[in-house]
Structure 1
Amino acid sequence: MRSTRLFCRNAALAVAAFLALAGFVCPAAADIVVEGVPPAQAQAVRDYFPGASEEEVQAGLEALRASGRFGDAYVTRSGGNVIVHVAAGTVINRIAFEGNSKIKTENLEKIVRLAAHKSFNARVADEDSAHITEAYRVNGRAAARVSYRVVPLPNGTIDVVFKIDEGDKTGIKEIRFVGNTVFSSSRLKSMMETTEMNFYSFLKTSDVYDPERVAGDLELIRRFYLKNGYADFHIVSSDARYEPELGGYVLEVVIEEGPQYRVSSVDIESHLPDIDAGALRPLLRLAPGDVYNGVAVEQTVDALTREIAHKGYAFTQARPRGQRNPADRTVAVNFVLDEGPRVFIERINIRGNAKTREYVIRREFEVGEGDPYNRVLIDRAERHLNGLGYFKKVKITNEPGSAPDRVVINVDVEEQSTGSFNVSGGYSTTQGFIGEVSVSDSNFMGRGEAVRLSLEEGQRARGVTFSFTEPYFLDQRMSGGFDVYARKSDAWTYSYYSQTSYGATLRLGLPITEEITFQPHYSIYETQISIPNDSQKPYNDCQQPIPGYTPGFGYWLAPNTSNLSVFYNCMTNGEASLAIKDSVGARLTSALGYTLGFSNLDNPRNPRNGSTVTFTQDVAGLGGFSRFVRTSGEARYYHDLDFLNYGGWNFLSDMVGIGRVQAGNLTPLFGYQPRVFDNFNLGSNLVRGFAPGGIGPRDLSNWTSYQGNALGGTNYFGVTTEVQFPIWGLPKDIGLRGAVFNDVGSLWDFRGKTYYPKAYAAGLAFGQTNCLPYTAPTYGQGACLLTHPLGGGADTSAFQIRDSVGVSLLWQSPLGPIRFDYSFPIVKGPYDVTKRFNFSGGTTF
């Protein structure tokens, strides 16, 4: 072994000697020599240079300069060595900003790379100026100018001061569509969150150019065209140009619409054993003859994938295939069910959630770690997470796992504020001026729970409400919650009694399908009725005379009937109905019920297409005083009227047609006679143009004050048709829209008492001996309730149609929705109380 080593060494020396004699010299490995910094920092510089080749040296120099750790750097070569000359730079004492008001200093400090107690680098300072300029551009200040100056200090350090000229707001001056012929530019703009600048710009930020927001808007437009049958639609380009002469951006979007397609056939092709394609056909969301709808195709893919996954085919996805026929503009849709690759979820990483608990995010996935990977279910979870309202943005990506059949799912979320403190006010013709203070959070303590506490105070109403909702009650996909409230409303022109209610409701929400929910609930509440009786509101002085005020009664309450008549008695100053007086006191109601709901709206907040149906039934009698079954239902249908917009008639764009049907019934149980507060008391909320409680059964015993003595009915129905439209010439983001409407409805069938023995006994004390009112000598209220005129005529308790037409002005103001209605009753009853103008504003209470 030793001899072998000696041989190798001697051979190497011989080869070296031979090469030297022949004129060959082996180059030594070049060293990286650092000059200009202390030895302790030299190694940090060498780390940027992995080698001495020209490419490695140049890359290392660029990385060193980009790091900003030193003042400047350059490279020379000497004797085969690479010499890196580094200027240590002056130490920065502090970073300061001047002229900034639109972006806070603490936010600018996060943008710049220069920092106190680090070396100054002019290159990095220039880059920081560019970063600040970009931040202002994103915030709508593209004209902002940023420079910096260096201020030497006596101790040898410097201050770096960035001087900022923020300039004026530079939003989007114009959004221009090119290539659209089917839908007008104004219609397409109405779908965008991005808006144009106008005189309202100082109150909004949606006119600031934001590339991400524009990309989201263009995706909405793409989905809109696909939903309406334009399967060939695509966006050719979108370009935002800053125009200095305009002082803003011009956003130009070039599109190609293509023809509208209809569905020629819809089939399901299953390549899976034991899966009958015919049994899955009820899950199809489109049919032959329909306009092609990309959203319906997506919904069908979701439904099919979930159904076959439940049948044990976890790796299977439904894949849509469309065969276009340009000649007759049809498309044949085929959903293919194939077994996908057998890939499992190794891990789900949640990133970016500082407030939201991780389990709140994970529970939106129908799959978990170790489950089969299914792209459709992952996309579905992403849509659910984006719809929660907890996050500005949710993005789900994949990366390879530790094995070929493993995948890692990364969920990146960007949280947004979910709590709010609101102080709002408004006015309505039914409640007068009213204000509300509320505190709410839809993601309470990051648990996904919703809480709300509101305090309400107004001219004629006040109250407090607390609500709590757990969206995943008992860790199941059902919601649970409760509401606790206390409310009081005062007597006024259209109601001669005050009402106070205290109550609580327990509720559950059970999703049956994506569109159908079942919500059982239990309510218990106490209703207290009182009748004011003073000189301002003498609504009970026939039974409780007011000394010196009630006609016929002096200060000693001695009845003096000599000056009483039909036109001057205790009822002429206003008197509550016998039915209202019989309801005075506290009554407890305990009711068990449910609500069945359906909704397929395209946008729950601002619907343009789709429908909602709710059916509610409550059974009162599980304890308490009341005994009845109350049933009510409502259906709404929305449809945009874009068919009126073909040919570029811009003033007809963005119109929405709305249809509404509502009905209700109250059936007494076990001989119970409903009280006034049990009945349906309706007016403008059924047929506009009528006062609150202005239609239906009413007490006509007192012909001088029947408008405040609505009794309510046990049956109602109503039909509304309405068309909402933009106001031509006004920017849509102002929030003003107009509407025309027609309301038809009826409220009928009073089933309460008509004879009140207590009132008869009270009348005897004052000389009233007749059941009927206006009987001499006191001409008092009597003991009988009349829903028809004393001398005969139409019964207000009978079925009778009311009809009205009108116009509305709707404003989504910064303080909340405001609506003005002006109605013209064209069919009404002889004793109905009309009210043509109605105004409501502020938040919805």
Structure 2
Amino acid sequence: MKTNVGRFLAQGFAKMRSLWMALCIVVFASGAVNAQSFAFSSFEIEGNLRVADGTILTFGGLTPGAGISTADLNAAGQNIRASGLFESVDLIPQGNRLLIRVVEYPTINRINIEGNNRLRDEELLSLVQSQPRRVFTPAQAEADTAAITEAYARRGRINASVTPRIIPQSDNRVDLVFEVVESAVTEIERISFLGNRTYSEGRLRRVLETKQAGFFRILVGRDTYSPERLAQDREALTDFYRSRGYVDFVLQNIDVSLTRERDAFLVTYNIREGQQFSFGTTSLSSEISGVNAADFADLINVRSGATYSPVPIDSDIARIEREAAARGLNFVTVEPRMSRNPRDLTIDVNYVLVSGERVFIERIDIEGNGTTLDRVIRNQFRSVEGDPLNSREIQESAQRIRALGFFADVSVNTRPGSSPSQRVVDVNVTEGPTGTLSFGTNFSTDNGVSLLASYRQSNFQGRGQRLNFDFSTAETNRSFGFGFTEPQLLGRDLRGSFDLSYGTTDNENALYDTETLRMSPAISFPLSETGRLSVFYALEYTDLADVSDDASPIIQAEEDAGGVWTNAIGYNYSYDSRRTGVNPTTGYVLRFGQEFGFGDTQFIKTTAFAGAETAILNEEVSLRASVQGGVLNYQEGSSRVTDRFFLGSRLMRGFEAGGIGPRDENTDDALGGNAFSVLTLEAEFPLGLPSEYGVTGGAFIDYGAVWDVGVADDSAILSNDPIARSVIGLSIFWDTPIGPLRFNFTEPLDVQDFDKTRNFDVTISTSF
């Protein structure tokens, strides 16, 4: 037994000793290989046609006579391959000589796109980084393929496929062809919301730029999936809720999925609304020695009880900081410190004046503006080089640059300057289209079908100036208009403009024609955040022609005066609370103007308008009210039918053009009046149709009158006194790609027998 065990152990030790000796030999041999080195006295390169021998050796870091290990030799081969010029590289040692055998990538002869119909060659080729007369590389071709595929995906054609093809040519050249198989548009079939309790899906969809597929989808072009547009919608939806007091609103995620057939997207917004807060108490304090907060208390417009919104807070801060700068208190910033009251859902705001960082603007650098002049962009800054840096003012300047509408993209950032107290403001813009040339037709129940042509340029010669030409002709009238606006007259916030208009009418409803020419230069400037004043001079020519013998004696007498030139100066004041956006659901508009004629004809023409709009029932229903009127009073001379007021369907629905007001009893000619007034009340509401159809309903009542021809003997004039008319009606609003249309169905309540009523009309929907 012991002998067998001993023999077994002896055999085991012998085997272990053999394995150990074999392992040592392998390790020794391996070290010998790694330790092998070469010293090549010459190099021979084969297969290179374009790349010089010296260039290849430089890529590999190879020099004659230098010692090189096996690892270094492998690294040299990798470096030559990494140049991207060769399809294959082999390094073969042959004694003292190293043979380098390469196969060069071919040169691109030309690049073509085939199979594309929806996207033009120019657009796709601009995405391709491969270039003719340069070396072809498979990696770059694959990257170009991905870029073209992504371009189709951005247009909603996610199933489009792109295949790169290589067509060999002589002299180691190839044609690179991208074969495109275009797919149908993958539209957004449904946009839905989860977690919304206050606002309906229809109301929230109207906030988004992205739309569901519906009628005229080819013209709308916003029902395709776009990550960029979705990012904008995320911000728009957040701003919508935050501006309405939902400070805890969270857009948790946006789920985008494809239908089973992969022919449409389903987009779902998962949101958490939170509760709505109102403003509690507001206060102002100062942490700066020598600065009295009470001096700025009157600048706070936020009022207790109003729905919370960051917009009025930002307006108050900007107002206080501007006033501090005007008083020479530089580097004063305002910190809004909030205190929540969860029990009564209010937020107290304390505006604290604190000392900001003492930093100055070293310079403003502008890039990307190939057309727009630098000064147009610089004019949007209230600060210049050397002024104290105000971060809020920089943000407001960026908003003003975007509001110009000249640029597709705007970014404004600051970076460190030449010293710790200096900052450089970088403005990077991407130019966008600013001009339009359009031809088309227009239809209204007042004038019938019109042919239109217009040219508009909002950035004329890159100077920020506006230029427009308009021409229209219809069966009963023709008009021409020219306008030019300089937004920064004399380098200040003065808007200078010049307007010229010419029009003629061939009135089928009257026995006379008219001709009107008006030229008017004007200057306008802001009086406040919401108010603006414009002053102007007007030179006007009016004439009556081809007056029939059967026309009203009043009009025949007015024709005898011939063409009349008038000179006038005037002003217009406008107040619009929507400019500040303080209350997103309610807006007020006021307009008042007067025109004073002088010279041979002296008159005062006064017009006024007041309008308000609010949204109720979680903003599903819009209520609008407006009142407007005008008075024309002559001291020298007398008014004519070309000067007086007429009420058309835009002001008083339910009547033909000139169908209401003073009228010649014998000839039935509409004479117009020296005074008018109109009150309008209307509501707009959903009809239960899918929001992508863009169709809503409305109801309205109009109450108004026009009166006073201004002649001594009015015995033959009907309705020369302020006799009010009223109509009620229903409307259908249709937001179409060619413009917002409005269909009105009216029923008269109080009218005169001689009025010319209309039960249906179509107009372009407008807002005050």
Return the TM-score normalized by structure 2: 0.86
Alignment counterpart, residue 381 of structure 2, candidates 358, 365, 382: 365
1:738 to 694, 697, 700: 697
| Amino acid corresponding to residue 635 of structure 2 in structure 1 | L
Check 1:71–1:689 CA distance in 2 against 1; reply closer, same or farther (3 A cut): same
2:629 to 648, 657, 663: 663
Is the contact made by 2:530 and 2:579 (CA closer than 8 Å) also made in structure 1?
A: no
1:673 aligns with 2:688: no
Taking the TM superposition and a 5 Å limit, the aligned residue runs for 1:124-163 are 124-163=140-179
Match of 2:284, SS state, is: strand
How has the CA–CA distance of structure 1 residues 40 and 109 changed in structure 2, closer, same or farther, with 3 Å as cutoff? farther
| Letter in structure 2 aligned against 1:441 | Q
> For 1:151-190, what aligned pairs fall within 5 Å after superposition?
151-190=167-206
Q: Which residue of 1 aligns with 2:55?
A: 41
Is the Cα–Cα contact under 8 Å of residues 249 and 273 in structure 2 kept in the other structure? yes
Q: In terms of mean alpha carbon deviation, does 451-460 or 83-92 score higher?
A: 83-92
- Correspondence 1:78-97 to 2 at 5 A: 87-97=103-113
Structure 2: distance between partners of 1:71 and 1:614: 75
Residue among 405, 420, 423 paired with 2:436: 420
- Give the partner amino acid of 1:837: F
Q: Deviations over 1:372-415 (max 9, x none)?
A: 11110001011111111111121112222122111121111111
What is the match of residue 836 of structure 1? 759
CA contact (8 A) 2:547 2:559 kept: no
Cα distance between partner residues in 2 of 1:740 and 1:59: 82
1:21-40 to structure 2, matched below 5 A, reads 38-40=52-54
Match of 1:663, as an amino acid?
Answer: G
Aligned to 1:338, which of 354, 366, 370?
354
3-state DSSP of counterpart to 1:669: strand
Q: 1:775 maps to what in 2?
A: none
Instruction: Extract unaligned runs of 5+ from structure 2.
Output: 1-34, 62-67
Distance in 2, Cα, partners of 1:59 & 1:580? 103
Q: 1:271, CA displacement in angstroms?
A: 2.7
Match of 2:609 in 1: 634
Written as runs of structure 1 = structure 2, the 5 A alignment for 1:568-607 is 575-584=551-560, 585-601=562-578
Q: Secondary structure at the match of 2:755?
A: coil
Q: Deviations over 1:133-185 (max 9, x none)?
A: 11211121111111112111233311121111121112322222221111112
Q: 1:256 to 1:44 in 2, by over 3 A?
A: farther
Once superposed, what is the RMSD of the aligned Cα atoms? 3.4
Task: Evaluate the alpha carbon distance shift between residue 841 and residue 640 of structure 1 in structure 2; reply closer, same or farther with a 3 A threshold.
Answer: closer
Counterpart of 1:525 in structure 2 is 540
1:655 Cα deviation after fit: 3.0
1:713 to 673, 686, 690: 673
Q: Deviations over 1:782-826 (max 9, x none)?
A: xx75235xxxxxxx2222221111112233433334332221110
Residues 579-598 of structure 1: per-residue CA shift (max 9 Å, x gap): 45334421111110000011
8 Å Cα contact 1:191/1:220 also seen in 2: yes
1:304-343, aligned counterparts within 5 Å? 304-343=320-359
Residues 128 and 677 (structure 1), Cα distance of their counterparts in 2 relative to 1, 3 Å cut? closer
CA distance in 2, matches of 1:171, 1:61: 51
Q: Give the corresponding residue for 1:613.
A: 590
Show the 5 A alignment for 1:223-242: 223-242=239-258
Q: Could you tell me how far apart the structure 1 residues matched to 2:212 and 2:185 are?
A: 12
Find the partner of 1:786 among 716, 730, 744. 716
Q: Does 1:503 align with 2:518?
A: yes
The alpha-carbon deviation at position 70 of structure 1 amounts to 4.7
Whole-angstrom CA distance in 1 between matches of 2:352 and 2:72: 53
Return the alpha-carbon distance in structure 2 between the equivalents of residues 63 and 515 of structure 1.
67
Which residue matches 2:722? 799
Confirm or deny: 8 A CA contact 1:714 1:749 kept in the other structure: yes
Alpha-carbon shift at residue 260 of structure 1 (Å): 0.4
Cα pair distance change 1:488/1:587, threshold 3 Å: same
1:270 equivalent to 2:270? Answer: no
- Offset from partner CA, 1:96-136 (integer Å, 9 cap, x none): 21111222222222222222222222222222212211121
1:786 alignment partner AA: A
CA–CA distance in structure 2, aligned partners of residues 601 and 145 of structure 1: 48
1:376 paired residue number: 392
Q: How far 1:66 sits from its partner (Å)? A: 8.5
User: Quick one: which amino acid aligns to residue 497 of structure 1?
Assistant: Y
* Greater relative contact order (CA < 8 Å, ≥ 6 in sequence): 1
Deviating more after overlay: 284-293 vs 194-203: 194-203
Which stretch has the larger CA shift, 719-728 or 346-355?
Answer: 719-728
Instruction: Work out whether 1:813 is the aligned partner of 2:736.
Output: yes
Q: Quick one: which amino acid aligns to residue 485 of structure 1?
A: S
CA distance in 1, matches of 2:647, 2:687: 31
- Structure 1 Cα separation of the partners of residues 353 and 287 of structure 2: 6
* Matched residue type, 1:234: V
What's the counterpart of residue 748 of structure 1?
707
Q: Matches of 1:841 and 1:667 in 2, distance apart?
A: 32
Aligned 8 A contact 1:424 1:436 in 2: yes
Structure 2 counterpart of 1:636, one-letter code: G
1:198 counterpart residue number: 214
**DSSP 3-state at the match of 1:238:** strand
Percentage identity across aligned positions? 31
**Which 10-residue stretch deviates more, 456-465 or 833-842?**
833-842
Q: 1:75 to 1:505 in 2, by over 3 A?
A: farther
